[in-house]
Amino acid sequence: MAHDEHSNSHTNTLPAELGAPAFVGNWQKRAIVVGVVFTLLAVLLAVLENMSPNGLAVDHLLRGWLLGLMMSFGFAVGGLALLMVQYLSGGKWGLLLRRPLEAMSRTLPLVFAFWVVLAIFGKKLYLWANISDTAAALKSGIITEAQAHAIDFKHPMLNWNTFIITGIVCFLIWGFYTWRLNALGLKRDSESADTTPKWIKKMENISGPGVIIYAITLTAAAIYWVMSLDPTWYSSVYGLLFLVGQGYMVLAFSIIVSIGLSKGEPFKTVLRVTEQHDLAKFLFAFVMLNIYLAFAQFLIIWSGNLPEEIPWYLDRIRGGWGVIITLDFFFHWLIPFSLLLSRDIKRNKKRLVAVCSWMIFARAFDLFWLIEPNFKDAARNLHFSWGILEYAAVPAAMLAFWFAYFVTNLKTRPLVQTNDPHVAEILEPVHAH
């Protein structure tokens, strides 16, 4: 195949200019336009919802906001986590992804702002936060006996103060790791190449505990922000599902960014087809792991068939939701799985970007299926309302602004870390093993 312009025997040289190419400015402008359009759309939908009988305009805005928060949070903190995993595993792919991942992690302030909005206005979404007197609520039929029991029993954990405090503590921890890894990442480059072994160890030592702490804090966040929407239900694999989901979307997004950047230097030189292929194989592993956990949870709960657990699935299968879960299975497993089996698609820039974009959409679709049936009006009752479209409009607007902020962060640093043992390797022509 004649696609490989570097296939003769000479070695490439790293371009002198390692900053982000100028065209990322256009990405940013486009993202802001998209963000404004979807913001207007979200407002329009809220107005339409408000005019319809039994409209839940504010509720739906908040639900969409929660989905947007989980997506942007997934990119920011998931990016941080993948960065730490990279420091632990080592390898060539770090040279490609480290700077985009760092830029993703530095979007944490915006995600925090998104979360603050939820912390101020979101109380409405959480059943346990709105019921102060469970006995009275039970008597008047607002909640079931199971809900009353769960809200009472889980009160030490599920109350608005711990919700806020846990959130702030988690953000402080993520902020600490973001700051530390980003500052050291830049410092590493300012030192000479003979310091590389020292830096590798140093980064490993920070990232090792970091990954564990990330897993714990992420589980806390997933439980508080999403799982507790249904106070009666619990699943011990829930945090892990979000963890893998973050790896899934972060890797897909990183591949899109790398391929997008490869239209200009320096990524034109460093993103060789071999590395692209490797990243796509890595992505494939996440597609498998994701369905593995999702299905394992389903199989265990289905087998147990316990009255404490099974209603969560019934809420998400009956009343039209069966269509959504079937589509969800196709969207976030079957389609990416089948496409990523192909070697040609993994090595083709355009097609791989299409698959990755699809996967990000599929992750959002999966979150929709996780979030919406928690609410009384939607459980076992999938129905159209203008408000339900907020699940598309609000996250699209949030992610567009998030992306613009991401590009701002991307522009502040050289795109390739030069104090790295793999620089020489990545500049070699592909077949000179």
Binding site for another protein (CB under 8 A): 1, 7, 9, 295, 298-299, 302-303, 305, 341, 343, 429-433
In whole angstroms, the minimum distance from the beta carbon of 96 to another protein comes to 20
Choose between 7 and 144: whose C-beta lies nearer to another protein: 7
Closest CA to 186 of 282, 281, 99: 99
Closest CA to 298 of 325, 320, 330: 325
**Separation of alpha carbons 358 and 259, rounded Å:** 15
Choose between 282 and 298: whose C-beta lies nearer to another protein: 298
**Separation of alpha carbons 433 and 431, rounded Å:** 6
In whole angstroms, the minimum distance from the beta carbon of 238 to another protein comes to 19
Residues 6+ apart with CB under 8 A from 73: 111, 114, 115, 221
Choose between 16 and 306: whose C-beta lies nearer to another protein: 306
Q: Is there a contact between 174 and 77 (Cβ–Cβ < 8 Å)?
A: yes
In whole angstroms, the minimum distance from the beta carbon of 341 to another protein comes to 8
In whole angstroms, the minimum distance from the beta carbon of 1 to another protein comes to 6
Choose between 9 and 190: whose C-beta lies nearer to another protein: 9
Choose between 154 and 347: whose C-beta lies nearer to another protein: 347
Choose between 34 and 237: whose C-beta lies nearer to another protein: 237
Chain-centre distance for alpha carbon 326: 22
Choose between 76 and 293: whose C-beta lies nearer to another protein: 293
Q: Is there a contact between 72 and 398 (Cβ–Cβ < 8 Å)?
A: yes
What is the residue-wise DSSP string for 334-398?
Answer: IHHHHHHT-HHHHH-HHHHHHHHHHHHHHHHHHHHHHHGGGSTTTTT-----GGGGHHHHHHHHH
**Separation of alpha carbons 147 and 418, rounded Å:** 56
| Measured CA distances, 186 to 27, 91, 191, 206, 257 (Å) | 24, 19, 9, 15, 20
